[in-house]
Amino acid sequence: MARSGMLGKYEFRSIEKKWQERWMQSGCFRANDFSEKSPFYILEMFPYPSGTLHMGHARNYTQGDVYARCRRMFGYEVLHPMGWDACGLPAENAAIKNGIHPRKFTYDNAAIMKRQLIGLGCSHDWSREVFTCDPSYYKHQQKIFLDLYRAGLAYQKESFVNWDPEDMCVLANEQVIDGRGWRSGAIVEKRSLKQWFFRITDFAKDLLEKIEFLRKWPDSVKTMQINWIGISSGIRISFKFVELGDELEIFTTRPETLFGASFCAISPDHKLADKIAKSNADVNEFIQGHRKKGTAAKLADIEEKKGIFSGLYVFHPLYPEDESKKLPVYIANFVLAEYGTGAIFAAPAHDERDFEFAKKYGLKILPVIRPLDGERDFNDRAYTDEDGIMINSSFLDGDTVAEARLKIMDHLEVNALGLRESVFRLRDWGISRQRYWGVPIPMIHCEKCGIVPVPEKDLPVQLPDDVSFDIPGNPLDHHLSWKNVKCPKCSSDALRETDTMDTFVDSSWYFLRFCDPQNPVEAFCEKKVNRWMPVDQYIGGIEHAILHLLYSRFFTRALKKCGYCDIDEPFDALFTQGMVCHRAYKSFDGEWVNPKDIKYVDGMPSFNGKPVVVGGVEKMSKSKCNVIGVDDALAVYGADALRLFVLSDTPPEKDFEWTDEGIAGCWKYICRIWAMFEKHIPSVVSKKDYKTEPAAFSNKAVDLRRVVHKTVANIDNALQNFALNKYIAHLRECSNAIEMFDASTEDERWVLREALETFICLASPAIPHISEELWRAVGNDQFIHSAPWPFCRKELLQKSYCVMAVQVNGKTRGVVEVPIESSEAQILALAQLDKNVVKFLHGRRIVRTIIVPQKVINLIVE
Ligand code: ANZ
Ligand code: ZN
């Protein structure tokens, strides 16, 4: 058609807006549950509606969007939903600080972020938008809770919890970092409360064993999960008390050191410790002191080892009834209540913690392993290596550690003194939060009946709107008309559970709800879930490597057990993207300065006329003042330039550095593409003439086709490997070749259309707005993302001819185009046709020819 006329200046503002509106109006990104096409589910971790999108979001969602758009063009029915992880502390903190109701805070923020996501050109299916704080969502979550409760997977127990004194909230162990609350930074205390738990440990073995089948997950994430679940194989051994009738059970992974045992130790939270405390004031004081401190498992390792003698002794299991071999039992702070049996035997010669403790309390240090590299002084430090030869160990003497370990475990089992066992580090998931802005746990406490589930017909248990944040603590506790209810069983006065669920619960099944987001009756219909699940490509931050991903894997199993669905794993492929960073600047007063406010005076960076310190390239964060707003970037450069930039140069899994030059360069490239089309559109063959491929092509045309088809192959390959930066680099190679081309013959004009159309299709997932516009400009009338993805014709990748230099006596005198398959005689004949070469031959006889294939032909003449 060669639509004549100029495209004019590229007005990204109006053009981007136009396409965003048309996409929205047409509903073209809505996933069809009943489509004939194969389903493909692509999901980016949904955001917490914190306020505005940050550049990390922009990068994450652009990456996901590229995949969604490609998959549509590959011919899949793509599910690409978006929603809001809408419960959680910040909304409540905003309520406390600024008096904004959490609901308003949440919905206002989500609206802003939704506008930004649309402004980025993301192809989300907004008809599936969910808010986890909406009763239409959490009603099903409450039902799931009740089903988990019935299946024994949700239970309540009194337990020590991590209490954040500042946020007035219980924290999960993983929310305690180095003994401090992950959000507040306050030193965490210990408290005993009745808490709700999910029995994730029931699935510990399965969660661990199935990790190896997650072939499309990064190894780093899998390793973190393996370590988090943390399996240890060892043996449980019984030690008889000298004074009491019963036995002390310990767990060890080093049973071969048993002859080196010099004492036993129990956790201050072991039930025996409580018993002893009743009649022993010193022990009681020790335990109370211990309880004040945080519970986080890690803390036990960094704290100074401390303990107190319990007054009790146990017999050594291998010397029963021998009082001279009895071992004192200590209560020690480094023994964790919730690991193994909460009790250990100590072999100070071979364990650092035991060693430190033995030194401090003057306990025996008995070496039982001789290091392979000779003698050592065991009074100096412990020998913890596992290679060596057994000594001082009766029937184990002379064995290697490995041999001794097997032998002693067999011996203990045969004599009914122990039982091999594997223990997991993973603990049950404490989900109770003493917070308002979460999903209420649908339980009622009745004095007569105990815990009574809220009847299903009464779901959802809705959060009351009229709450006050003036009193510290959980507003639900102070809301009497909400809290006071009648028992569903006996109708007497009862109390609602006022704990709400950890927000990780909300995000443990949202990907299932997205398959059937409006279902009013069920959490989701199994047929729809079977169609879409598992998520084919999940994209998100590495910070979720453990918790969110593990909880989701657990939830999928729990739901399967409760008959909701038959999915084994929720996420087939996982991609974790890197962070977005930006240079940070500091004034000499130590204040962070926004890079925007930096002026260069005589080449030196300065702020307010004073020089500043150029800091490192750091993760964009408010605290470092180095945040670039998504809205700002969109306003200046537009969505396509922004998308292009966050995809370019850096592999997506690596940290990305934002620079002003970088985004400006991308905007320039967008303009170059525009200009390239402007220049070439008048020369392309019409759509009609494009239907028939010319029978022959000029060499120049063949060259361009090769570049274009090679680009298709390269990009297919890059996308398969999630190498989005390479994808962009290949686009640039391709446009460089098209830019330089000029078409004079009909076949060249045909190839030019092929090149432009192919290029813009390939580019469209990255820069959808300009692509959509140019797609129309070359004469198409459907959305570009409904066009088929370009197909690489392999036969075009091979060069059909080459350009060879022709030398006469070693001096280059001409160049010839030679078909690749030519014989030497044919090459020689072609070389002698070149006018300049003929001139230098002067009719002299050629005595010899030297050919460097596809490069040089040298004619040696008399
Ligand atoms: C005797 C022994 C001798 C141990 C020796 C180690 C070295 P992992 O590998 O991490 O599973 N242990 C058992 N339960 C414990 C608890 N609740 N709190 C603190 N420590 C506990 O560690 C297993 C080892 O940690 C066990 O093996 C036990 O000490 C200790 F030379 O038993 B061992
Ligand atoms: Zn009752």
Check pocket membership of 345 for ligand 1, CB cut-off 6 A. yes
**Which stretches of 686-840 are assigned E, i.e. beta strand?**
801-808, 811-819
Instruction: In whole angstroms, give the CA distance from residue 268 to residue 284.
Output: 9
Q: Whose CA is nearest to atom 29 of ligand 1?
A: 252
Evaluate whether 341 touches 360 at the Cβ level (below 8 Å).
Answer: no
**Best mutation site among 235, 252, 365 for ligand 1, i.e. most ligand atoms within 8 A of its Cβ?**
252
For the CA of 232, the nearest atom of ligand 1: 11
Q: Looking at residue 172, what is its pLDDT?
A: 62
Bridge partners (DSSP) listed for residue 325: none
Secondary structure, 3-state, 291-333: HHCCCCHHHHHHCCCCEEEEEEEECCCCCCCCHHHCEEEEEEC
Q: Is residue 249 pLDDT above 90, yes or no?
A: yes
Q: Looking at residue 601, what is its pLDDT?
A: 82
404-438 per-residue burial string, b: 16 or more CB within 10 A, e: under 16: bbebbbebbeeeebbeebebbbbbbbbbbbbbbbb
- In degrees and rounded to multiples of 5, residue 801 shows phi and psi of -145, 165
Per-residue pLDDT band at 551 (split at 50, 70, 90): very high
Q: Rounded to 5 degrees, what angle do the CA atoms 181, 183, 189 make?
A: 20
Q: Is residue 251 pLDDT above 70, yes or no?
A: yes
Closest ligand to 450 CA? 2
Q: Whose CA is nearest to atom 8 of ligand 1?
A: 232
Secondary structure letter of residue 187 according to DSSP = B
Of residues 45 and 321, the one with the higher pLDDT is: 45
Annotate 537-592 with DSSP letters as a single string: EEEEEGGGTTHHHHHHHHHHHHHHHTTS---S-SBSBEEEE--EEEEEEEETTS-E
Instruction: In whole angstroms, give the CA distance from residue 244 to residue 2.
Output: 99
- In degrees and rounded to multiples of 5, residue 202 shows phi and psi of -60, -25
Evaluate whether 674 touches 7 at the Cβ level (below 8 Å).
Answer: yes
Instruction: In whole angstroms, give the CA distance from residue 577 to residue 55.
Output: 12
Per-residue pLDDT band at 19 (split at 50, 70, 90): very high
- What integer best gives the mean pLDDT of the chain? 92
Instruction: In whole angstroms, give the CA distance from residue 247 to residue 204.
Output: 28
Evaluate whether 43 touches 537 at the Cβ level (below 8 Å).
Answer: yes
Q: Looking at residue 3, what is its pLDDT?
A: 43
Q: Looking at residue 299, what is its pLDDT?
A: 52
Q: Looking at residue 2, what is its pLDDT?
A: 38
Secondary structure letter of residue 81 according to DSSP = B
Check pocket membership of 265 for ligand 1, CB cut-off 6 A. no
Q: Whose CA is nearest to atom 7 of ligand 1?
A: 351
Within 13 Å of residue 562, how many CA atoms lie on the same side as its CB?
20
Q: Is residue 698 pLDDT above 90, yes or no?
A: yes
The span from the first CA to the last CA of the chain, in angstroms, equals 58
Q: What does the pLDDT average to over 431-442?
A: 94
H or E element at residue 404: helix 401-414
Which residues are documented as binding site for ATP?
A: 622
Residues with CB under 5 A from ligand 2 (ion): 446, 448-449, 487, 489-490
Annotate 447-473 with DSSP letters as a single string: TTTEEEEPPGGG---PPPS----SSSS
Per-residue pLDDT band at 174 (split at 50, 70, 90): low
Q: Is residue 846 pLDDT above 80, yes or no?
A: yes
Who's near 311: CB < 8 A, 6+ residues apart? 276, 280, 283
Distances (CA, A) of 239 to 196, 245, 321, 406: 33, 11, 11, 20
Instruction: In whole angstroms, give the CA distance from residue 519 to residue 769.
Output: 34
Q: Looking at residue 302, what is its pLDDT?
A: 64
Per-residue pLDDT band at 823 (split at 50, 70, 90): confident
Check pocket membership of 261 for ligand 1, CB cut-off 6 A. no
Instruction: In whole angstroms, give the CA distance from residue 572 to residue 662.
Output: 34
pLDDT tens column, 647-671: 999 999 999 999 999 999 999 999 9
270-285 per-residue burial string, b: 16 or more CB within 10 A, e: under 16: bebbeebbeebeebbe
Q: Is residue 167 pLDDT above 80, yes or no?
A: no
pLDDT tens column, 278-324: 999 999 999 988 877 755 544 556 678 899 999 999 999 999 889 99
Q: Looking at residue 850, what is its pLDDT?
A: 92
Q: Output the six-digit token pair for 332.
A: 């020690």
Q: Looking at residue 5, what is its pLDDT?
A: 46
In the reported structure, the alpha carbon of residue 164 is separated from the centroid of ligand 1 by a whole-number distance in angstroms of: 29
**Count of CB atoms within 10 A of residue 210's CB?**
14
Q: Output the six-digit token pair for 812.
A: 């280059």
Per-residue pLDDT band at 6 (split at 50, 70, 90): low
Instruction: In whole angstroms, give the CA distance from residue 275 to residue 331.
Output: 12
Q: What does the pLDDT average to over 247-256?
A: 97
Check pocket membership of 479 for ligand 1, CB cut-off 6 A. no
Lowest mean per-residue pLDDT among 259-268, 366-375, 395-404, 783-792: 366-375
Q: Whose CA is nearest to atom 2 of ligand 1?
A: 254
Q: Whose CA is nearest to atom 25 of ligand 1?
A: 252
Q: Whose CA is nearest to atom 32 of ligand 1?
A: 252
In the reported structure, the alpha carbon of residue 262 is separated from the centroid of ligand 1 by a whole-number distance in angstroms of: 14
Q: What does the pLDDT average to over 181-194?
A: 84
The model's pTM is 0.87
In the reported structure, the alpha carbon of residue 497 is separated from the centroid of ligand 2 by a whole-number distance in angstroms of: 14
Annotate 5-64 with DSSP letters as a single string: S---S--HHHHHHHHHHHHHHHTTTPPPTT-SSPEEEEEEPPPP--SS--HHHHHHHHHH
Instruction: In whole angstroms, give the CA distance from residue 485 to residue 63.
Output: 49
Evaluate whether 777 touches 20 at the Cβ level (below 8 Å).
Answer: no
Q: Is residue 380 pLDDT above 90, yes or no?
A: no
Q: Looking at residue 490, what is its pLDDT?
A: 97
Bridge partners (DSSP) listed for residue 858: 807, 850
Who's near 261: CB < 8 A, 6+ residues apart? 316, 327, 345, 346, 347, 366
Q: Output the six-digit token pair for 345.
A: 């035997």
**Which stretches of 87-175 are assigned E, i.e. beta strand?**
154-164, 169-171
Secondary structure letter of residue 680 according to DSSP = H
Check pocket membership of 232 for ligand 1, CB cut-off 6 A. yes
Peptide bond into 460 cis (omega under 30): yes
Evaluate whether 128 touches 83 at the Cβ level (below 8 Å).
Answer: yes
Check pocket membership of 368 for ligand 1, CB cut-off 6 A. no
Identity of the amino acid at 720:
Q
Q: What does the pLDDT average to over 238-257?
A: 94
Q: Whose CA is nearest to atom 27 of ligand 1?
A: 252
Instruction: In whole angstroms, give the CA distance from residue 587 to residue 583.
Output: 14
Check pocket membership of 351 for ligand 1, CB cut-off 6 A. yes
Check pocket membership of 253 for ligand 1, CB cut-off 6 A. yes
**Count of CB atoms within 10 A of residue 660's CB?**
12
Identity of the amino acid at 577:
Q
